[in-house]
Amino acid sequence: MAAAGHPGEDAGLYEAVKAVGEELCPALGLTIPVGKDSMSMKTRWQEGNEQREMTSPLSLVITAFARVEDVRHTVTPQLSTEDNALLLIDLGKGQNALGATALAQVYRQLGDKPADVRDVAQLKGFYDAIQALVAQRKLLAYHDRSDGGLLVTLAEMAFTGHCGVEANIASLGEDPLAALFNEELGAVIQVRAADRDAVDAVLAQHGLADCVHYLGKAVQGDRFVIEADGHAVFSESRTTLRMWWAETTWQMQRLRDNPECADQEHEAKANDNDPGLNVKLSFDINDDIAAPYIATGARPKVAVLREQGVNSHVEMAAAFHRAGFDAIDVHMSDLLAGRTGLDDFHALVACGGFSYGDVLGAGEGWAKSILFNSRVRDEFETFFHRPQTLALGVCNGCQMMSNLRELIPGSEAWPRFVRNRSDRFEARFSLVEVTQSPSLLLQGMVGSQMPIAVSHGEGQVEVRDAAHLAQLESKGLVALRFVDNLGKVTETYPANPNGSANGITAVTSESGRATIMMPHPERVFRTVSNSWHPENWGEDSPWMRIFRNARKQLG
């Protein structure tokens, strides 16, 4: 982006294109498949009798992408406190330039010497070395040095690991300020202490021996300390640092969202006793209860319903297929036109998304297309009354099916689902508990607590009054509830992302044959789809049990 015609900008643009397009990318073996320019980054206006203008600086914005061969081999900034070592790979050749850094901006300065690509061959060697270490499973954690410099890099890694850090920067130069806040190229990696020699050997093979600095280690607790020359140059509580780090976001969130929810989320960050996400299972995750039925060769048919704006149908079909079903794509237009019917299906699932853009209310337009078409209405009503059928509604499908109460036996007490209490769309990985209910899909899972994907803007349970809520509870129709990391049912944000009373996030019919839920089990039925999971999980996550239960129920 440039202000074409502004003194010096055209020459600067030429130099940038030449440096990146003719020198850097060819040396790295990279191509630039597409580019977009903005050449009018200057505005002029009249203010009284004075002509004013504002010119944006010449800027290069790069979006990089690459194929991930195996998501199970990716590395995150999350630190481990087991016997470990933290290493800085400094590609800045010790120059520690502070120009245009976050530190400079805080003091309303620009500086004169910014970070730069000091050695292209070294940068390429760095990439190859990291890939080799990933392939050898030598890395426990990784975080690039970028905005804020080394201090922020280490702090963010401590936040994710909920741990402390003990580091020494004596080898990084005489100026601790420059060492901690420069934004030169580089990264902090965490390795097992026992692997240090092997890691050093790999880095040396790629020409990085002179770039590696041993910093220290991650430790249990809240202590974040950085030393140099035998004394602490910075020491603070990790919790305090995290609260500072989150302050700006919190203040913006209070203005944009429900301020009460923003306050609750911010306060939760200060709880150093929070154990984080955890799992408690009441069943054997490795027990494939559908296997005997799959072995018969029979594959019941499940209708995977779609409507305009619906998504997650591919994941849903994959989960049911893995459990021994033939998953059939059924679009509402096929049902409305009479090209497809529900007579041949043993199960029906309404998937998540934003049917009709939620213009008529979440799921309501979809429901009305069924209720106001007499033939399709009769078809759904017949299906729901037919014995030995199962129905599942997820997210938008949950909202839609909650509006079909008049067609579904035993669903009269179901609630509606309305705008989240936070007043925002919520996409989170939340902890839920399977409660005692008639739900056939959750059979054998009662008492289990496990995280699940949440992705909705209108998931808050709405009941007519206290008596309606009491009826829902007394009939035992609540199938899932949000719980906090201590396993307690909660209405507190963000553990309860939508604010539903009593943590309710799934309900079932009195027969248990129809279950609707706001969370997305189909997005996390494979272990690799979970953003966090215990290391002992195999190919399938515990949520696969829902789909295997469906296969078992149909015999």
Catalytic residues: 395, 520, 522
Kindly give the pairing relationship between strand 514-517 and strand 212-219: unpaired
Residue carrying the six token digits 């998540």:
352
The CA-atom distances, in angstroms, between 61 and each of 22, 66, 169, 499 are 17, 17, 31, 39
Neighbour order of strands in the sheet with 223-228: 139-144, 186-192, 84-90, 212-219, 164-168, 223-228, 231-237
Judged on CB neighbours under 10 Å (0-12, 13-18, 19+), 547 is buried
For residues 115 and 93, the answer to whether their CB atoms sit within 8 Å is: no
Backbone angles phi, psi at 122, to 5 degrees: -70, -40
What are the DSSP E strand ranges found in 169-210? Answer: 186-192
d(CA 200, CA 212): 8
Helical (H) or strand (E) element with 123: helix 120-135
CB 166 within 8 A of CB 219: yes
Among 225, 222, 237, 220, smallest CA distance to 83 is for 220
Q: Where are the beta strands (DSSP E) in 315-360?
A: 326-331, 347-350
- Rounded distance, CA 93 to CA 97, Å? 10
> Token digits for 436?
């005692």
Placement of tokens 């010790």 in the chain: 94
How much of the chain is in helix, strand and coil states, percent to nearest 5? 35, 25, 45
